[in-house]
Amino acid sequence: MLQLFSPAKINLFLRVVGKRLDGYHELSTVLQTVDFGDYITLEQSDSDQLICNDPALPNDESNLVLKAVKLFRLKTGIKSFFKIYLCKYIPTQAGLGGGSSNAATVLWGCNQLSRANVSDKDLQTWSAEIGSDIPFFFSKGTAYCTGRGEHVFDIEPSKNPSDGISLVKPALSLSTQAVFSLLGMTPKREFKNHHSDRVDYEQGRLVPFNDFEAVVFAISPEMRLLKNRLIEAGFKTVILSGSGSSFYCIGKPNQNLTLLEPGLRVFPVSFLNRSCNDWYSVVRS
Ligand code: C5P
């Protein structure tokens, strides 16, 4: 039996470079894992089974966790089956990568439990077949990502801001696919290289931004209002994570944020990284 932490991610900045001919969008982004996440217990079994504390999540093969197990068998040829307990804290449709993180964590766990000895690099490459955000989680926790998200370049771990980070999730949830299609971009064959974003980020010259904010604020003026309120509440930086609907906020609020609007959830977090042979872990308090 193996118990693993499955961290949420945030996009420290996110540029949508353009729409590709295959329908995906070319991205330039830095992702970072945080010490807020789900907990997964895996054990070998006679058949695959997913047991989740959130009844709203599908526990059939449409769930990325079970897709990851199937992918592991397909790629390794190992006939192992797994019973998986998923204890969910990461809100869904929040831009926090919960499903992708769960899939990466389960792939890593299957590899450990069945002693298949597949390298993280191979797990990372395989995982791109079931989701664009999954390969990132096989980095050390801080990475510059391009392509549709699956080209992952490890970079120096981000320094935790001295005045703290909070994730703020409004009651509104947003479908990734729907937000991408709101961009209304015309497909193109080639794109300008945006690797200078990485250099700017590493040299501390990049002012955080997220290209999804414009379309999200256009369909939901309440989201723009919330961003403004969070800034008024004392945060220095408030940026949408992924395709939303969560914001990551840097700084110290000077008021009780949950009073800002009904259904708002606030998670104080720190950046989290992992070392070479270990998965992400946090000390539970
Ligand atoms: O790869 P994944 O299954 O996570 O993507 C979900 C959806 O998000 C895709 O079907 C696509 O509509 C959109 N997407 C995109 N460009 C990306 C990543 C995702 O258009 N780089």
The residue from 9, 88, 169, 227 that is catalytic is: 9
Is 90 exceeded by the pLDDT of residue 61?
Answer: no
pLDDT of residue 59: 86
Which of these ranges, 2-6, 86-90, 124-128, 256-260, has the smallest mean pLDDT? 256-260
The verdict on whether 163 is a catalytic residue reads: no
pLDDT of residue 285: 59
Q: What is the pLDDT of residues 142-170, one digit of tens each?
A: 999 999 999 999 999 999 999 999 999 99
Average pLDDT over residues 202-229: 97
From atom 3 of ligand 1, which residue's Cα is the shortest distance away? 131
Instruction: Work out the end-to-end distance of the chain between its first and last CA atoms, rounded to an integer number of angstroms.
Output: 22
Q: What is the pLDDT of residues 229-273, one digit of tens each?
A: 999 999 999 999 999 999 999 999 999 998 999 999 999 999 999
pLDDT of residue 75: 98
Is 80 exceeded by the pLDDT of residue 210?
Answer: yes
pLDDT of residue 76: 98
The verdict on whether 38 is a catalytic residue reads: no
Is 80 exceeded by the pLDDT of residue 284?
Answer: no
**139 token code pair:** 């980095």
Distance (angstroms) between ligand 1 centre and the Cα of 25 equals 7
From atom 4 of ligand 1, which residue's Cα is the shortest distance away? 131
Judge if the beta carbon of residue 101 lies within 6 A of ligand 1.
no
Rounded Cα–Cα distance for residues 110 and 241 (Å) = 29
* Summary mean pLDDT of the chain: 96
Distance (angstroms) between ligand 1 centre and the Cα of 65 equals 17
Distance (angstroms) between ligand 1 centre and the Cα of 180 equals 7
Q: What is the pLDDT of residues 168-205, one digit of tens each?
A: 999 999 999 999 999 999 999 999 999 999 999 999 99
pLDDT of residue 149: 98
The residue from 35, 38, 120, 133 that is catalytic is: 133
Which of these ranges, 51-60, 81-90, 97-106, 232-241, has the smallest mean pLDDT? 51-60
Judge if the beta carbon of residue 19 lies within 6 A of ligand 1.
no
Question: For the whole prediction, is pTM greater than 0.95?
Answer: yes
Judge if the beta carbon of residue 25 lies within 6 A of ligand 1.
yes
CB atoms within 10 A of CB 78: 14
